Chain A
Amino acid sequence: MRYLRRKALFYLVAVWAAVTLNFLIPRLIKGNPVDAVLAKTQNMTPMSPDARRALELQFGVTDDPLWQQYLGYLGNLLRGEFGLSVSYYPTPVSKVLSQSLPWTVVMVGVATVLSVLLGITLGMLAGWRRGTWLDALVPTTTFLAAIPYFWLALVLLYLLGGILGWFPLNSGYSYETTIGFNWPFLRSAIYHAVLPAASIVLASVAGWLLGMRNMMVSTMAEDYVLTAEAKGLRPRRIMIQYAARNAVLPSVAGFAITLGFVVSGSIATEIVFSYPGVGMTLVAAVANADYPLLQGIFLVISLAVLGANFVVDLLYAVIDPRTRQAG
């Protein structure tokens, strides 16, 4: 229970930090969303103070002391109100987000799980058969790991989409279909997601492989593996149930931390494929000086990553009893 309490407390602090950073950054540096809207709508005629005041109220710009603004901001967040988007004015930020979020969550989620499973399996085999051809693959994967996600996406798109014409060049679905739970749409969405997902898997699998392989090598020197061998157990059983089962623990813990990187990597990847997810929305928000949307996206990404981390931490306590005692 102590472990659980510590974790919960930590994540509360982390959430508070994310929320507060999100509040402070624009106020410390610059930014009046009203000016942004006016610039965006090319409204050069001077605005009446009353009209301006009304707009400011809509965007929550006040001259209140900072702590009062902070409390108001927290209150809005609790009610799920992120304010109005500037570039999609007057659509609320939460609505813009709810349209782009599912694309990223599904595509990146599936790609991440695939790459973890693939990386851990290959890493296990590479560590087990150290010095064989499989192990010789490791330096090659280093090269893969050093490639920027989005560049790999560019090259894949050029080769498989452009030259061979196997995959669509952009977007997340065919515009002839209607978004919803129908087969033509789902089929086109899956078809469009294959290449972006493949580029994420290819670029991130190396890290998992390497970590698992190194851990496997360490674990195989443990006494209990030697004992298992001496007992004459089948090699396959030793590899999976004795060595890999213990070696996989850091990868499980690493999974949570890497999640943040995968989200980051997918932002640029989405640009390459014009994929209608959070990354595209983020870049569009930057280009249009849409600060409310920008902040909403950062907050949602942070909360998602924190939430996933929390779940993995809880799982970790179940898998590895030592964690529970250590706290």
Chain B
Amino acid sequence: MATIETQRDVTGEVVPGVVVPTRRPRWRGLLRSRKLAAGLAIVGFFALVAVLGPLLVDDPNQVSDDRLLAPSAEHLLGTTTTGQDVFRQLVAATRGSMLVGLVVGLLATVVSVLVGVLGGYAGGHTDESLSLVSNVFLVLPGLPLVVLITDYVQTRGALAIALIVSFTAWAGSARVLRAQTLSLRSRDYVDAARVSGEPGWRIVTFEILPNLLPLIAAQFVFAVIGGILTEAALAFLGLGGAGSWGTMLYFAQNSQALSQGAWWWFVPPGLCIALVGAGLALINFSLDELINPRLRVPRRPRRTGPA
């Protein structure tokens, strides 16, 4: 989503028409962006709930005789078929979902930077084999593979799930980073550094990585969204163990919440996922505009279509 322009054909051949500004990223302009502010506010709120929430609400698994009640002052979001408070569950589940998202984001980004940047910079056989591996991972269907692995692996903790999801989540970013590294590698300033005798690791860390930073950030955000969504799907299929929003949906589905009209049970978890996702996507929008200035809406439109 972040950079569809650089995601081209599957074997990762030289990509036509990639537009990349050579100027330094304008971080200051980024801070003024309203999209970014809204995105950060949403994600920050959920992160706060994930950290503090479980301390503030009572036991979410406590059963009671108030079965399947609609939202009221006593139960803000109603109750489940076993009388559990949906609001408490929602708060507790925030931690599971956000944790998986964060871990998947971190792991997938680290792997994609290693594979993409090293391959793109080293070139030759290293690049050939690394891009072959990432392309294969890119075309293998992710969720069925994750289902297959999760079903064979017995442990179902949040970390185990995150690890498995990351396994299939890094390839797209690696491709994007490789394409950009290829383009940076042939810039004059990198050539200059090489001629002046800078060692390879120094060129990668100090000349190339800083210029990749906005792109890496965008890929990280993208991976977090992917992690949260994949975990939700896994949990919904009954393969989760993280106690997440997806787990809530699984129990709601299995208790016929839909046919009993208990919308308060299955609507809130999905809305939370969508909200976090939209918040992260807003952050990504502003990063996109930072990377590709043409996407910014100019104050005075230069050209207008047929009115």
A interface residues with partner B (beta carbon < 8 Å)? 6-7, 10, 13-14, 17-18, 21-22, 25-26, 29-31, 128-132, 135, 139, 142-143, 145-152, 154-155, 157-158, 162, 169, 207, 210-211, 214-215, 217-218, 220-221, 235-236, 239, 246, 249-251, 253-254, 256-257, 260-261, 263-265, 267-268, 271-272, 282-283, 286-287, 294-295, 297-298, 301-302, 305-306, 309, 313, 316, 320, 322-323, 326-327
Contacts and interface: CB of A to CB of B under 8 A. Distances in A.
A64 B180 CA distance: 48
Interface string B140-170: 1111110111011110000000000000000
Given A31-B152, A286-B238, A10 B11 contact: yes
Q: Which of A142, A220, A302 counts the most chain B CB atoms within 10 A?
A: A142
B10 A257 contact: yes
Nearest to B273: A148
A207 B5 contact: no
Nearest to B231: A148
Contacts of B8: 250, 253
A215 B3 CA distance: 10
Counting contact residues on chain B (CB < 8 A from A), the size range is 35 or more
B4 A264 contact: no
9 contacts: A131-B301, A139-B35, A146-B273, A148-B232, A149-B233, A154-B253, A162-B259, A254-B7, A256-B10
B13 interface: yes
B287 interface: no
B156 to A, nearest CB: 13
Given A147-B277, A157-B258, A327-B13, A302 B270 contact: no
A150 B9 contact: no
A22 B144 CA distance: 11
B233 A129 contact: no
Contacts, number: 224
Question: Majority SS of interface residues in chain A?
Answer: helix
Given A162-B261, A313-B10, A268 B278 contact: no
B132 interface: yes
B273 A151 contact: yes
Given A25-B152, A215-B4, A271-B253, A323 B13 contact: yes
Majority SS at the chain B contact face = helix
A7 B277 contact: no
A294 B280 CA distance: 34
B136 A211 contact: no
B294 to A, nearest CB: 6
A284 to B, nearest CB: 11
A305 B19 CA distance: 29
A326 B13 contact: yes
A155 B266 CA distance: 8
B51 interface: no
B149 A305 contact: no
Contacts of A148: 229, 232-233, 236, 246, 270, 273-274
B289 to A, nearest CB: 10
A214 B281 contact: no
Contacts of A25: 148-149, 152
Nearest to A151: B270
Contact of B277 (A17, A146, A150, A316): A146
A218 B16 CA distance: 13
Contacts of B251: none
A323 B301 CA distance: 34
